[in-house]
């Protein structure tokens, strides 16, 4: 496992901005991989305490939103949940604050780090999380980690013109379904919403978290199209993004 490599802050042209298909795979809970031109970015792999079956899987870069057991297996001594020799991106400084800014991770990936509170309006959750935004294949992605509150104006500006949004919807430890709808409306450029961090019987250990149904009901009430896929893998490109916002429900990978 390579240590975090943050080489320099960037203000120039986008890395990974050339148009090409990006394959998204949902591995369960808050964990996704995004594969672009043979390179794989993984976000928030879970430790074995979380019972989804998809890990371990290979990755070239691993982004960690915070150090809890369902988002950072290395924080709990599990070093075999990601295969290969990935760059592990730990976005916090020695004072446990997010190193906000846009950083070059590799020659094909730069990522914007945005600090957010994990603490919800009801006082659950703990500490800070790092939201990530980045461009691959001409599409802008964002993963909001365990976001506990709706976005501030500063956070909205830092995330940029997000088109594919990975967002928690289960509540208790994160924003709930109604707050997730509010956050989606705060980001009018979004075309694809990928819900995450909701309760699934037999796989998610935390029964306090709500299942997905409540969020989907609110999404349909907003007039948003909800597409339920048979496969945990989908591809996106600038040409194939929907014209209007859609919620894409991916089953978690089982192998």
Q: Where are the domains of the chain?
A: 22-249
pLDDT, averaged across the chain: 93
Per-residue tokens: 206: 């935390």
Answer whether 244's CB lies under 8 Å from 225's CB: yes
| Cis before 56? omega within 30 | yes
Residue with tokens 């940029």: 160
Q: What is the pTM of this model?
A: 0.93
Question: What does the buried/exposed string (b/e) look like for 110-149 if buried means 16 or more CB atoms within 10 Å of the residue's CB?
Answer: bbbbbbbebbbeeeebeebbbbbbbbbbbbbbbbbbbbbb
At 77, list the tokens. Answer: 């001594």
pLDDT at site 253: 98
Q: Is the dihedral of CA 52, 129, 217, 184 positive or negative?
A: negative
Residue 61 CA to residue 34 CA, distance in Å, equals 10
CATH code, 22-249: 3.60.15.10
Q: What is the pLDDT of residue 5?
A: 47
pLDDT, tens only, 138-189:
999 999 999 999 999 999 999 999 999 999 999 999 999 999 999 999 999 9
Q: Dump pLDDT digits (tens) for 108-142.
A: 999 999 999 998 888 998 899 999 999 999 999 99
Tell me what pLDDT residue 18 has. Answer: 55
User: pLDDT tens-digit profile of 201-246?
Assistant: 999 999 999 999 999 999 999 999 999 999 999 999 999 999 999 9
Q: What are 26's strand-pairing partners?
A: 32
Q: What is the pLDDT of residue 19?
A: 66
């Amino acid at each position: 496992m390579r240590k975090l490599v943050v080489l320099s802050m960037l203000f120039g042209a986008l890395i990974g901005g050339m148009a090409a298909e990006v394959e998204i795979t949902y591995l369960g809970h808050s964990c996704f991989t995004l594969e672009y031109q043979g390179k794989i970015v993984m976000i928030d792999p879970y430790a074995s305490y979380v019972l989804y079956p998809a890990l371990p899987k290979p990755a070239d870069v691993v982004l960690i939103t915070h150090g809890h057991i369902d988002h950072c297996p290395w924080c709990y001594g599990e070093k075999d949940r990601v295969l290969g020799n990935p760059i592990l991106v730990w976005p916090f400084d020695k004072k446990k604050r997010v190193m906000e800014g846009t950083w070059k991770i590799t020659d094909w990936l730069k990522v914007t780090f945005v600090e957010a509170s994990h603490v919800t309006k009801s006082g659950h959750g703990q500490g800070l999380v790092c939201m990530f935004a980045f461009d691959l294949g001409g599409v802008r992605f964002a993963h909001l980690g365990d976001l506990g509150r709706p976005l501030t104006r500063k956070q909205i500006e830092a995330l940029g013109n997000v088109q594919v949004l990975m967002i928690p919807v289960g509540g208790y430890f994160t924003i709930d379904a109604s707050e997730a709808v509010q956050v989606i409306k705060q980001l009018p450029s979004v075309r694809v919403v990928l819900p995450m961090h909701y309760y699934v019987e037999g796989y998610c250990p935390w029964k306090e978290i709500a299942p997905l149904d409540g969020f989907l009901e609110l999404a349909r009430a907003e007039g948003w199209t909800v597409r339920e896929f048979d496969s945990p893998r989908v591809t996106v490109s600038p040409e194939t993004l929907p014209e209007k916002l859609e919620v894409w429900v991916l089953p978690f990978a089982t192998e």
